[in-house]
Amino acid sequence: MFPKNTWYVACTSDEVTEKPLGRRICNELMVFFRGEGGEIAALEDFCPHRGAPLSLGFVKNGNLVCGYHGLEMGCKGHTVAMPGQRVRGFPAIRHFPVVERHGFIWVWPGDAALADVAELPHFEWQGNPEFAYGGGLYNIACDYRLMIDNLMDLTHETYVHSTSIGQPEIDETPCTTKVEGEHVMTSRFMNGIEAPPFWKANLRLKGLPDDQLVDRWQICHFNPPSHIMIEVGVALAGKGGHEAPEEFKAASWVVDFITPETDTSIHYFWGMARKFRVDDQSVTDQIREGQGRVFAEDQDMLELQQRNLLAWPDRKLLLLNIDGGGVQARKIIDARLAAEASLAKAA
C-alpha cells in the first residue's frame, strides 16, 4: 500500500512541546515526545502494562509516563520505573527512528535497522534564510496516491479552484512530463494571460501591478515516497517568465508532504515558501490564509472520490495525457513496494 522503509513527515516541531503527541503513521500507532534536552523520540503508542495509549500520559524527567498506572518508558522503549514495582526487566516496546529538521519531525515506520539519516530529503527552501515559510495540516480521508495524482495534474484547478487559482488557460495549455531516476516533473507554462485572484493578491504583496498580463508557470516535482514540491508563480509578461529577474515576479514553492495515516486517510502537510518580503510575518499570514482556503477546496473532492472508488472497486479508470505525472509517480511507488516485498521475503 505504501513504502515503510523511508522517511515521512510525522508532525511539525511545534506540535510536540511539553505533552506527548499520538499519531497514526502508515497504520502504525505512534507517540512522539521530547526526552532529555528536548530531543525528539517516537514509540509505539502502547503501554506494555495494560495496553493504554502512552499518548494520554505525560513527560517527566525525559521519560514518558503512562497516564493509566504511571509506568515510565525511556526514549528507546525500555521500561524505566513504576511506583512500587520492579519493571526494568520488561521487554522494550518498539521505538521508531526519528529526526527533527527545519521545523518538521520525520519518522521511519519500517525496519529501524535500515534507517539512514542521509536519505532525509532536502529542498531548496529548507533552512534557507532567503525564504519565508508558512503552512498547516489537514487530515483527509483518501488514499495518499489520490493526493499525489491531484498535485501532479493541476488541470483540476480550472474547476475545483475556479475562484482562487484556477483559469481556463490551465487546461488549454499542454503539460509535459519528465522522469529522472525517481524524480518526476510535470511542467506547464502559460504566457500573456490574466493572473487569477490568488496571484493578483501575491503581485500586490510583492509591490507589482495586478492589472497587467503575466506569464505563469507550474512545475510539479515528485520525490518518493510522497513528497511534492511545486514551483509556482507569475511574472509580468515579457520579462522572462519563470526565468524573470526577482523584481518582476511573484514566485514560490508550494510544499506538499503527504503522509499516509491509514489505507484511506492521510496527514497532509501543506505550505508555501516564498522569496519576497521574507521578514514580514503579516505577508506569511495572508498567504497561509489564502493557500489554506485553496487546499480546503480539494478535501471534499478527494474524500468523495475515495468513497466512489471504494463503492466501485472493480471499475477501470480512464488514463489521459494529463495523468502522466501521477502515472509515473505511481510506477516509482510500486517499484519501491516491490523492493520492500522482496527484502521481506528474503529475510
Whole-number pLDDT of residue 198: 92
Whole-number pLDDT of residue 76: 95
For residue range 171-229, list pLDDT tens digits in order: 899 999 999 999 999 999 999 999 999 999 999 999 999 999 999 999 999 999 999 99
Whole-number pLDDT of residue 250: 95
The pLDDT of 264-269, averaged and rounded, is 98
State the Cα–Cα distance between residues 142 and 267, nearest whole angstrom: 10
The cell numbers describing 205, all together, are 504583496
Residue 86: pLDDT band with limits 50, 70, 90? confident
State the Cα–Cα distance between residues 145 and 35, nearest whole angstrom: 34
Q: Does pLDDT of 84 surpass 90?
A: no
Start-end of CATH 3.90.380.10 domains in the chain: 132-338
Q: Which among 162, 198, 158 is positioned nearest to 289, based on CA atoms? A: 198
For the whole model, what pTM was predicted?
Answer: 0.95
Q: Does pLDDT of 309 surpass 80?
A: yes
More confident of the two residues 163 and 75: 75
The pLDDT of 92-119, averaged and rounded, is 97
CA distances from 261 to 10, 28, 109, 199, 295 (A): 10, 8, 11, 32, 18
The pLDDT of 237-264, averaged and rounded, is 97
For residue range 33-49, list pLDDT tens digits in order: 999 999 999 999 999 99
Whole-number pLDDT of residue 32: 98
Architecture of the domain defined by 8-119:
3-layer Sandwich (2.102)
For residue range 332-342, list pLDDT tens digits in order: 999 999 999 99
Q: Please name the fold of domain 132-338.
A: Naphthalene 1,2-dioxygenase Alpha Subunit; Chain A, domain 1 (3.90.380)
Q: Does pLDDT of 89 surpass 80?
A: no
For residue range 107-147, list pLDDT tens digits in order: 999 999 999 999 999 999 999 999 999 999 999 999 999 99
Q: Which among 5, 197, 232, 248 is positioned nearest to 125, based on CA atoms? A: 232
Phi/psi-derived region of residue 327, left when phi > 0, alpha when psi is between -120 and 50, beta in every other case: alpha
Whole-number pLDDT of residue 222: 98
For residue range 279-297, list pLDDT tens digits in order: 999 999 999 999 999 988 9
State the Cα–Cα distance between residues 187 and 183, nearest whole angstrom: 13
Q: In which residue are the cell numbers 518580503 written?
A: 277
More confident of the two residues 82 and 33: 33
* Averaged pLDDT of the chain: 95
More confident of the two residues 85 and 76: 76
Whole-number pLDDT of residue 87: 73
Whole-number pLDDT of residue 162: 87
For residue range 11-31, list pLDDT tens digits in order: 999 999 999 999 999 999 999
State the Cα–Cα distance between residues 341 and 334, nearest whole angstrom: 10
Max CA distance (Å), the chain? 76
Whole-number pLDDT of residue 44: 98
Start-end of CATH 2.102.10.10 domains in the chain: 8-119
The pLDDT of 263-275, averaged and rounded, is 97
State the Cα–Cα distance between residues 240 and 58, nearest whole angstrom: 55
